[in-house]
Amino acid sequence: MAMSFEGASQANHVNLATPVQQGTIEPSTQAPSPPSPTPDPDPPQIEDFDALIKSDVQAFVDLGKQIGGLVGEQAEAVLQAFQAERTFILVTTKAKRPEPLAPELMTELHKASDTINNIRESNRSSPFFDHFSAVAEGIVALGWFFELKPATFVNEMVGGIQYYGNKVLKQYKE
């Protein structure tokens, strides 16, 4: 049997605009939100890497900024490269099993490395060319994770760093 609203009396209508119960909900009666999950502590490898960044890398960046110009810009790119390396290391510590490297993990490291190398290549006549070269040669060592023998690879990179580092030392020797 179908019902129609047309013949219904006022007594049968419920006024929806008037609350059935008067009163307000007190904030204390609301359910508390669940606590946010605490982040996992960083693995020891990341803590050690953070200590390296906060001490040696940051000192390098600060000195580069004091010199200013392209030296400061290249030093900032070194910091970005180390931060990208940190992200990569953190991801690998959480991986279940080794898988091919995700290219997006390398994007920031490649950008920073390109910046460092572009500063070197576009400033060959700069009095800081040997400085730029030492940094550019050294930053390549951050690509150790592509190598089957990373320690050997990093040791080989030291030769280029020392070559330009010695040129810088000779330049400033009194």
Asked if residue 172 has pLDDT above 50, the reply is: yes
Residue 34 CA to residue 16 CA, distance in Å, equals: 34
Token code pair at residue 68: 């200013």
H or E element in which residue 49 lies? helix 44-52
Percent of the chain with pLDDT over 70: 78
pLDDT digits (tens, 9 = 90+) for 37-91: 777 888 899 999 999 999 999 999 999 999 999 999 999 999 999 999 999 899 8
pLDDT digits (tens, 9 = 90+) for 103-135: 777 889 999 999 999 999 999 999 999 999 999
Are the beta carbons of 53 and 83 closer than 8 angstroms?
yes
Determine the Cα–Cα distance for residues 54 and 79; give it in Å rounded to an integer. Answer: 10
The residue extents of the domains of the chain are 44-172
Query: Among the CATH numbers 3.90.1150.10, 1.25.40.330, 2.40.30.110, 3.30.420.40, which is that of 44-172?
Result: 1.25.40.330
Residue 165 token pair:
């580092």
The closest alpha carbon to 76, from 33, 119, 107, belongs to 119
